Every structure is written in structure tokens, then in C-alpha cells.
């Protein structure tokens, strides 16, 4: 069983993996034997990422690249292939969210979210697919969201993008499955990261933050997820263990999507 989950000899590109969910997935890939490549939009973020990987004992390769720029992505993939090796695994992790009521959101703000969260995965996938076809296969993992299935106030652009990413995942699987390319998604639930820390801080009276209470009540697991909760699912979808899994979104949400919620007392 160990061999089918091994990523030994594989080159994995995880976009936006200087920190957070992407960093946790990259660490898991490294422990499974993969060579890690990541990008970020600024050199300072790449440098911070490289330092974090070094602290974990991981030799990672970091590059500056705007994943919404098709020419830059094509140049990045060519550079990785020349300096590191052919990309066997792509994780489209880079993303943004703008929490703005839809009637207050500008079209430019909406387009920016769509550009990063949907157009960029299209651009990056398009860049690696030809080489994967030539080599007889590959793995593409898109970081989707519960908002691929649900709506919520203030996240119209994000939900639209993640819903689109779910369908892009299915279409890549449909179009390139015959070439032994598996494209699947991971849909994280609410994950405890530095970015969500303010939502989990205790109130002055010692009570939970209202949003924290809301998430705990909506989650059968009764807790926030951790970035490490995504490690196993990501390795599974990147390994030979998932060779007949294609076009699927694996929701790692503690059961939120299966749960209607508790009846009010």
C-alpha cells in the first residue's frame, strides 16, 4: 500500500504555496517523496516561503510569477522543466477573496477574483497539459471550496469563481482522461490559519467569537479544520492511489455540506 501513495521521483508545482493551505499540501508531498516547486507574486513572499521550507528540512524551488499572466506562466513552466524537471503534479492553490456585498462590488473587483481563482487555474493547467500528454499522464488538483456548492453573503465573486472551478475540474477530466490525466478538486471547509485567527479569538467576556460559534455549530466535527487535515486527501489525489478517480471534488469540511444544522433550542 505504501508504494501506491508514494510521490517519489515526482515534481509537484503548487501555486501560491509560500504559506497556508498550499504550504501544508507541499509539506505533505515532500514527505511522500516529491520535489517541491512553488510560486508567489512577490519576491519577498517567495523568500519567506523558501525560509519556511528550509525550517521544515525541505529543499523547495521558489519562483516569482503572476499566475493570471499567461505569458509569465508559460515562461515559468519552461523554466521549471529546464531547472527542476517535468511537472508531474499541478496544484492550483493560489487564490483571493473579497468580502463585499454584491450591490457594492465593482465589476473590476469581481473580475479580479475571477481572474485569480478561475482564469489562473485554466492558464496553469493549459500550460502543463501538453507535456503530461507526451509523458503519458499527470495529476491536476484544483483547490475548490464549499462555495463551489453553497452561496453566502458578501462572496458573490468567490462563489462564482469556485463554482466555475468545480466545472473546469470536471471538464479537464472529461477532455484529458484518455491521456491518463486525472483532474480532481479539494474543497476545504473552514480552516484554522493565521488569516482566520481573528474569527476564533475569545471575546472580552470569555465567550466565543460569534462566527466561531456559527462554524462550530454547523460542523459535525465541532471544530475548525487544520491545514494538516488536507495533507492525506492531497497526497491521495496526487498519487497512483487515485488513478481511476477523475472529475471529483473531495470536500474536506468536517461534514458541513452533509449537515442541516442543529435545531434551535
CA distance 13 to 24: 13
**C-alpha of 229 from chain center:** 13
**C-alpha of 163 from chain center:** 14
CA distance 259 to 265: 17
Judge whether 259 counts as a catalytic residue: no
CA distance 54 to 262: 44
Q: Name which of 185, 170, 252, 186 is nearest 219 in CA terms.
A: 252
Asked if residues 252 and 141 have their Cβ atoms less than 8 Å apart, the reply is no
Q: How many residues does the chain have?
A: 265
DSSP structure string for 16-39: TTTSHHHHHHHHHHHHTTPEEEEE
| Cα-based distances in Å from 207 to 34, 210, 213, 262 | 43, 9, 9, 20
Active-site pick, 53, 63, 158, 176? 158
SS3 142: strand
CA distance 65 to 29: 21
Among all residues, which ones are annotated catalytic? Answer: 158
Amino acid at each position: 500500500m505504501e508504494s501506491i501513495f508514494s510521490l517519489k521521483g515526482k515534481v509537484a508545482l503548487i501555486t501560491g504555496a509560500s504559506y497556508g493551505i498550499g504550504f501544508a499540501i507541499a509539506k505533505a508531498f515532500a514527505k511522500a517523496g516529491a520535489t517541491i516547486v512553488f510560486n508567489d507574486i512577490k519576491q519577498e513572499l517567495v523568500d519567506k516561503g523558501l525560509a519556511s521550507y528550509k525550517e521544515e528540512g525541505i529543499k523547495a524551488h521558489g519562483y516569482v510569477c503572476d499566475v493570471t499572466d499567461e505569458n509569465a506562466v508559460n515562461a515559468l513552466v519552461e523554466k521549471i522543466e529546464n531547472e527542476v524537471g517535468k511537472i508531474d503534479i499541478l496544484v492550483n492553490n493560489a487564490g483571493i477573496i473579497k468580502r463585499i456585498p454584491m450591490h457594492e462590488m465593482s465589476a473590476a473587483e469581481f473580475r479580479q477574483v475571477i481572474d485569480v481563482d478561475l482564469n489562473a487555474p485554466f492558464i496553469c493547467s493549459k500550460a502543463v497539459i501538453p507535456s503530461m500528454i507526451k509523458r503519458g499522464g499527470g495529476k491536476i488538483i484544483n483547490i475548490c471550496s464549499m462555495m463551489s456548492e453553497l452561496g453566502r453573503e458578501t462572496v458573490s465573486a468567490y462563489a462564482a469563481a469556485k463554482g466555475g472551478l468545480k466545472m473546469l475540474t470536471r471538464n479537464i477530466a472529461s477532455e484529458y482522461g484518455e491521456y491518463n490525466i486525472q483532474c480532481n478538486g479539494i474543497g476545504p471547509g473552514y480552516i484554522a490559519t493565521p488569516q482566520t485567527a481573528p474569527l476564533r479569538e475569545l471575546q472580552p467576556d470569555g465567550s466565543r467569537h460569534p462566527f466561531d460559534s456559527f462554524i462550530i455549530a454547523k460542523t459535525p466535527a465541532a471544530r475548525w479544520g487544520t491545514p494538516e487535515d488536507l495533507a492525506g486527501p492531497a497526497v491521495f489525489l496526487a498519487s497512483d492511489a487515485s488513478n481511476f478517480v477523475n472529475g471529483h471534488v473531495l470536500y474536506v469540511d468536517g461534514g458541513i455540506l452533509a449537515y442541516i444544522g442543529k435545531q434551535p433550542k
